[in-house]
Amino acid sequence: MNVIGSRPSGWWRDRPRAMRELVEELEEFARRDGDPVTVVFDGGPFDVDSEAVDVRFASRRGPNAADDDIAALVERDEEPAGLSVVTSDADLARRARDGGAAVVGAGEFRRRLVG
């Protein structure tokens, strides 16, 4: 959600549409970059189809739900040094770095999406 919120597009009026649009952008990025891409959204799940992006929804509701799932993905990964976590949340960034992953700010990643 940090990436979606990194630009004032009116995303808050239609969160599912904004999430689908991000997945489309991530598909382009994944094809261009060649690395696997996973996105973890907050909120209740809904149908978002993608062959190129692993789309997940937080396993629970509440504060930091998606952040906790992302941190758990880093902790469970056999090679966390090969992961990049995209976030502007300082606590999630710390957790990701502590787990061995790199961190990229949401604004910086947004610029990479268009590149």
3-state secondary structure the chain: CCCHHHCCCCHHHCHHHHHHHHHHHHHHHHHHHCCCEEEEECCCCCCCCCCCEEEEECCCCCCCHHHHHHHHHHHHCCCHHHCEEECCCHHHHHHHHHCCCEEECHHHHHHHHHC
pLDDT band at residue 7 using 50, 70 and 90 as cut-offs: confident
Per-domain boundaries in the chain: 4-114
pLDDT of 72 higher than 90 = yes
- Tell me the pTM: 0.90
Domain 4-114 sits in CATH at 3.40.50
pLDDT of 8 higher than 70 = yes
Q: Report the pLDDT value the prediction gives residue 115, as an integer from 0 to 100.
A: 63
pLDDT of 6 higher than 90 = no
Q: Report the pLDDT value the prediction gives residue 106, as an integer from 0 to 100.
A: 93
